[in-house]
Amino acid sequence: MTRRNILKSRRIVIKIGTSSLILPNGKINLSNIDELAFVLSDLNNKGYEVILVTSGAVGVGLNVLGMDKRPADIATQQALASIGQVELMSLYTQMFRRYSQKVSQLLLTRDVTDFPTSRENAENALSALLSMNIIPIVNENDAIAVDEMDHQTKFGDNDKLGAIVAKLVDADLLIMLSDIDGLYDKNPTIYDDAQIFREIHEITDELREMAGGAGSRFGTGGMTSKLSAAQILFENRQEMVLTNGARIREIREIIAGKEIGTYFYRK
């Protein structure tokens, strides 16, 4: 079955998680980053407006320093994010340059989107970059983001950031790349009879209970955060596809309307 609504999509946000950028051994997944650069550059050449929301700064920082475990204290995590962000953008710049595609970097904190003037500035910057055929690469500014009672600057996770960026630019579609093929009724790594949901039209309490759990040792997101991102999009009448980041080239098939992953949209 063709997902006909998706065929109309021209402005697309791609969110890639840490699990798609970092291998299980902690090394950087260079082939995935290269494929991502190729596919997004190809889409841009074909007239699509593309924004990349990336995780991975802390994971890359761990790799740079040869650490195999995410530290518990916030200050060290912030330092790792600062170190990793430089290396991550260097990799993206190199990979996209192979396909003659220019990219830019935007680091956001939650207060930027909470305050009208700051939000407008972010919207204007993103719009200007898209009009110049540049692919903006967005990440949370993890090196300085905090989450205190009187000044919350953390988005919480980059799944939510992906949805907020999609809302900021009024995107037609958010494609969320994860370490799983879509949303299942139970954990497919444990249960052989797990069934994938091809379409979701409402985020219910039952779905949230089913999702449960956190993310990988390199990332912070889990299925619950993806449902929260979908809820943000539902409120803005936008759409999302959750699919596996191990198969980057399927992005083009998703945009062509092929039934891949789980499609979140309100009827």
Q: Is 55 labeled as ligand-binding?
A: yes
Q: What is the DSSP letter of 5?
A: G
Q: What is the pLDDT of residues 69-95, one digit of tens each?
A: 889 888 898 999 999 999 999 999 999
Q: Are 153 and 145 in contact (CB under 8 A)?
A: yes
Q: What is the mean pLDDT of the chain?
A: 89
Q: Is 223 labeled as ligand-binding?
A: yes
Taking the C-alpha atoms of residue 66 and residue 53, their distance in angstroms, rounded to an integer, is: 25
Give the C-alpha distances (Å, rounded to integers) separating 133 from 15, 95, 263: 19, 17, 27
Q: Is 179 labeled as ligand-binding?
A: yes
Q: Is 159 labeled as ligand-binding?
A: no
Q: Is 225 labeled as ligand-binding?
A: yes
Q: What is the DSSP letter of 156?
A: S
Q: What is the pLDDT of residues 199-236, one digit of tens each?
A: 999 999 888 887 765 444 333 347 888 999 999 999 99
In the prediction, which pLDDT does 156 show?
61
In the prediction, which pLDDT does 114 show?
81
In the prediction, which pLDDT does 87 show?
96
In the prediction, which pLDDT does 213 show?
52
- Percentage of the chain lying above the pLDDT 70 cut: 91
Q: Is 158 labeled as ligand-binding?
A: yes
Q: Is 150 labeled as ligand-binding?
A: no
Domain boundaries, the chain: 4-264
Q: Give CA 234 to chain center in angstroms.
A: 17
Report the pLDDT averaged over residues 183-197.
87
Type of residue at 31 = S
Taking the C-alpha atoms of residue 91 and residue 195, their distance in angstroms, rounded to an integer, is: 36
pLDDT classification of 241: cutoffs 50, 70, 90: very high
Q: Is 121 labeled as ligand-binding?
A: no
Q: What is the pLDDT of residues 8-25, one digit of tens each?
A: 999 999 999 999 999 999
Taking the C-alpha atoms of residue 175 and residue 158, their distance in angstroms, rounded to an integer, is: 13
Q: Is 224 labeled as ligand-binding?
A: yes
In the prediction, which pLDDT does 5 show?
87
More confident residue, 6 or 154: 6
Q: What is the pLDDT of residues 121-167, one digit of tens each?
A: 999 999 999 999 999 999 998 877 655 434 455 556 789 999 999 99
User: Does CATH place domain 4-264 in 3.40.1160.10?
Assistant: yes
3-state SS class at 24: coil
Q: Is 221 labeled as ligand-binding?
A: yes
In the prediction, which pLDDT does 125 show?
96
